[in-house]
């Protein structure tokens, strides 16, 4: 039998090699062992087992890494925590932050997004200020300075909003705006530059009786995030287009 086929057979049958014996507890029990949540006798028995059972030793390690997590010092951990904090809305418990597409779809999405941006923004090119919109970084979750204040739309509306309006932030040279559904999915996103405090809302984007959220982020000329607004909710309950 060739090596590759043998590898495959071993890999395919490996899940049947666990648990190693009847002494192996469910994998999640190891946190209880480390936390001393079990009666002393049980604790001793399992701790001894983890020293001789290779599979359980690996599960013990996983649990140990979880329970010994240190304070937030790593910048990537900080970034993830920032994402989680912003996704967590006290009033509704959880609103998911926008998910990324699967990695295999990203190149195609990139091409599609680029094409859509060209189509959408080509007519606006002449009115952009010299230098255009600075290259805005992905959301860093880190902002300095005050919030950006929302003017409208907000709350229950008896009209269809034609614009998103906010108070200009003194340090801002560009803004990124996004409108979200209740599940946190981005429904529409745009960027604008200069001393502006509003952008138009595409026709037909807003539907009656549907809850939307929107948010504006301010960026400096260097593309640094300087402030952002609260994610603001609105719903159209009356009026005509």
Partner 1 sequence: MSRYKNLDDEALIRRLREADPAESQACRNELFTRVYPRVAQWCLRLCGNRDDAADMAQDVVERVHKQLDSFRLESRFTTWLYTVTRRTALNRMKSEMRHRRRRVDEDRVPEPADTAATAPELLTSNVVGERIRDVMKEKLNPMEAQVVYLHYVDGMTLPAITNMLGLTNKSGSKALLVGGMRKLRRHLGPWLDRQFEA
* Interface ranges with partner 1 (CB under 8 A): 1, 3-18, 20, 27-28, 31-32, 35, 37, 54-55, 57-58, 61-63, 65-67, 69-72, 74, 76-77, 79-81, 83-85, 87-88, 90, 93-94, 96-97, 99-100, 102, 104
Per the CB < 8 A criterion, the answer to whether 34 and 25 are in contact is no
Residues 28 and 26: their CA atoms lie apart, in Å, by 6
Nearer to partner 1, 28 or 185 (CB): 28
At its nearest, how many Å lie between partner 1 and the CB of residue 28?
A: 4
Minimum CB distance to partner 1 smaller for 18 or for 121: 18
Neighbours of 151 (CB within 10 A): 14
Q: Using CA atoms of 117, 119, 120, 123 in order, give the dihedral in degrees to the nearest 10.
A: 130
State the nearest-atom distance from the C-beta of 145 to partner 1, in Å. Answer: 23
- Identity of the residue, 99 or 241, whose beta carbon is nearer to partner 1 in the bound complex: 99
- What distances in angstroms separate CA 214 from CA 115, 179, 223, one per listed residue? 24, 4, 21
Cis peptide before 153 (omega within 30 of 0): yes
196 forms beta bridges with none
By C-beta, is 88 or 144 nearer to partner 1?
88
* Shortest spacing between CB 97 and partner 1, in angstroms: 6
Give min distance, CB of 18 to partner 1, in A: 5
């Amino acid at each position: 039998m060739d090596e590759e086929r043998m590898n495959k057979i071993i890999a395919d049958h490996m899940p049947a090699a666990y648990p190693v014996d009847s002494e192996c507890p469910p994998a999640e029990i190891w946190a209880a062992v480390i936390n001393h949540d079990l009666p002393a006798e049980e604790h001793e028995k399992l701790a001894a087992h983890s020293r001789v059972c290779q599979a359980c030793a690996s599960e013990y390690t996983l649990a140990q890494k979880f329970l010994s997590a240190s304070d937030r010092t790593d910048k990537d951990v900080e970034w993830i925590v920032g994402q989680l904090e912003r996704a967590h809305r006290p009033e509704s418990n959880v609103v998911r932050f926008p998910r990324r597409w699967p990695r295999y779809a990203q190149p195609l999405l990139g091409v599609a997004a680029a094409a859509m941006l060209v189509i959408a923004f080509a007519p606006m090119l002449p009115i952009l200020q010299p230098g255009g919109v600075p290259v805005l970084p992905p959301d860093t979750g880190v902002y300095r300075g005050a919030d950006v204040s929302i003017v409208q739309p907000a709350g229950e509306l008896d009209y269809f909003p034609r614009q998103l309006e906010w108070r200009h932030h003194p340090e801002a040279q560009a803004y990124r705006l996004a409108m979200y559904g209740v599940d946190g999915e981005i429904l529409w996103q745009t960027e604008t530059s200069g001393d502006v405090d509003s952008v138009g809302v595409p026709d037909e984007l807003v539907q009656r009786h549907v809850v939307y959220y929107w948010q504006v982020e301010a960026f400096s000329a260097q593309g640094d995030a300087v402030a952002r607004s609260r994610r603001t909710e609105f719903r159209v309950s009356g009026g005509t287009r």
